[in-house]
A and B are shown apart, each in its own frame.
Chain A
């Protein structure tokens, strides 16, 4: 089985978000970048499927050279090789075009990625890649097994889940609990250093959206504390003051 896992580099989930240049640029100062947590789930499942069926796991990232530490970590977790498309990931369509171009060369059975990136939360890349390759895309996938070339999955829906089946090849947007996050071990870290990481230039340059400026949410006015002995007055306040009941 040949699996391509798309991984995006995003600020760590504990990052305090701020902007510079008159709110037109994200402030990268002091920010730790990680592989998107949803992508991490996708990668972990890919490594498990490789252990089960054999084959290869290739990681792809659209990003500049500074994402290579993150890519090496993906190799340490168990991917065999990696491709970095050397470009700023400007928007979902642009990223999808690069992934589709690499995917076309590789004939992958599965293209896995997170359901969305945790920076722009677009959740579009899987669908656009699926459309560009003319194969189905399914999201958000919480469980994935392969039986005789057919993927058996369940997918989250509002208030429940759906079981879904489809023949390979497929593009999937993944989320937990599709696999447990894997932590690289020493051997993984050592071998990752010499695994192939190919750098390619972007195949196309369509950008459909651009961010003009950013804003932070208005801070909440201070919290009104209600003594525990008078807890029931909360309900009255929610009705008459906050007017939400």
Chain B
């Protein structure tokens, strides 16, 4: 009856975003009086997987079949269902991501499981099984009862702050039979901004809007982001105009972020933009217009010209 956590693997180790899921799953297991098992799919380093123990899981199942190195939502859903059966798990935890979105949707269909998406806190088990979910793209929360026998919880970034120990998990090979029909989707290529910090996982984000006038002016945005170790983001018109790549666009129709710090520069703060960023812990707004609506959603504000302010901030960060 353990809790199963889908631990996403990147570059041979468990992704940072999944570390929160491991800790969350371990906490749920504790609440239920059971243990937590992680499932890692695809090639990974055994020592790196054992390190999942630091976040409270006692065991890691490793499905290392070479066919699974390509992230494939059908095959992954099948492997997770097999692992859940193997462990007798009725609660499955994942961090929300572009991969887990597709995988968990399939798994919900496969196992007739109740799926709580964008969960922001530990569940309430006092009378049934309830989770708090972020809805209306961050504009509200819903307390939702998960009524099926099997429950899937997809947590939003910052749903829980992991506390690490020195414990190591045991790693067991897991080799369920794979189904050919799960492999009709082929990944033929991948492009990824190299070295850059992944936006959905970033703790710090520097975001820039149409106030920057053109793509040639992004140097000062990148300078500040680099000095902070932050990811860069942008508003929708900026990606629509191709000033920046689409995966940097945050908001209602873009990436939803919940970093510790979101610095919005030259962005007006339209409701559709706010929707994707308002669960950030601290919001800083820099805008030359004192009436910009974004100031109403901010913790710190500077009324001024981004072309003057950003270099000053970068210098101040470097002087820290």
Contacts and interface: CB of A to CB of B under 8 A. Distances in A.
A166 B228 CA distance: 41
A93 B146 CA distance: 12
Contact of B284 (A167, A214, A232, A234): A234
Interface residues of B, number: 97
A119 B313 contact: no
Nearest to B261: A244
Given A211-B142, A217-B278, A242-B299, A128 B320 contact: no
Nearest to B259: A244
A11 B196 CA distance: 35
Interface string A83-125: 0000000001100100000000000000000011011111111
B300 A237 contact: yes
A214 B304 CA distance: 38
B189 interface: yes
Contacts of A206: 112
Interface in B157-200: 181, 184-193, 196, 198-200
B309 A228 contact: yes
A163 B187 contact: yes
B246 A157 contact: no
B302 A242 contact: no
Contacts of A155: 98
A137 B72 CA distance: 10
Contacts of A138: 73, 102, 185
Contacts of B137: 118, 121
A191 interface: no
A209 B144 contact: yes
A34 B155 CA distance: 28
A213 B139 CA distance: 14
Interface stretch (B21-29, B43-51, B86-94, B113-121): B113-121
Q: Max chain A CB contacts within 10 Å: which of B135, B228, B278?
A: B135
Contacts of A131: 77, 106, 108-110
Nearest to B300: A224
Contacts of B68: none
Interface stretch (A47-55, A62-70, A73-81, A172-180): A172-180
A185 interface: no
B226 interface: no
A155 B279 CA distance: 25
B65 interface: no
B147 A220 contact: no
Interface stretch (B32-40, B54-62, B290-298): B290-298
Contacts of B118: 121
Nearest to B113: A208
Nearest to B279: A217
B142 A120 contact: yes
B105 A13 contact: no
B281 A244 contact: yes
A223 B299 contact: yes
Size band of the interface chain A makes with B: 35 or more
A215 B300 contact: no
A234 B139 contact: no
A48 B235 CA distance: 27
B147 A165 contact: no
A76 to B, nearest CB: 22
B109 A127 contact: yes
A225 B304 CA distance: 11
B74 A245 contact: no
A126 interface: yes
Contacts of B148: 208-209
B95 to A, nearest CB: 11
Given A176-B253, A211-B144, A142 B117 contact: no
A62 B278 CA distance: 30
Contacts of B305: 228
Nearest to B203: A244
Nearest to B245: A160
B282 interface: yes
B141 interface: yes
B125 interface: no
A215 B134 CA distance: 9
A123 B73 contact: no
Contacts of B302: 225-228, 231, 234
Given A159-B193, A231-B309, A235-B313, A13 B252 contact: yes
A165 B106 contact: no
A162 B189 CA distance: 6
B199 A158 contact: yes
A59 interface: no
Contact of B201 (A129, A134, A158, A237): A158
14 contacts: A14-B271, A124-B115, A132-B109, A134-B181, A137-B102, A166-B186, A207-B147, A208-B147, A210-B147, A211-B144, A212-B130, A215-B143, A221-B299, A245-B317
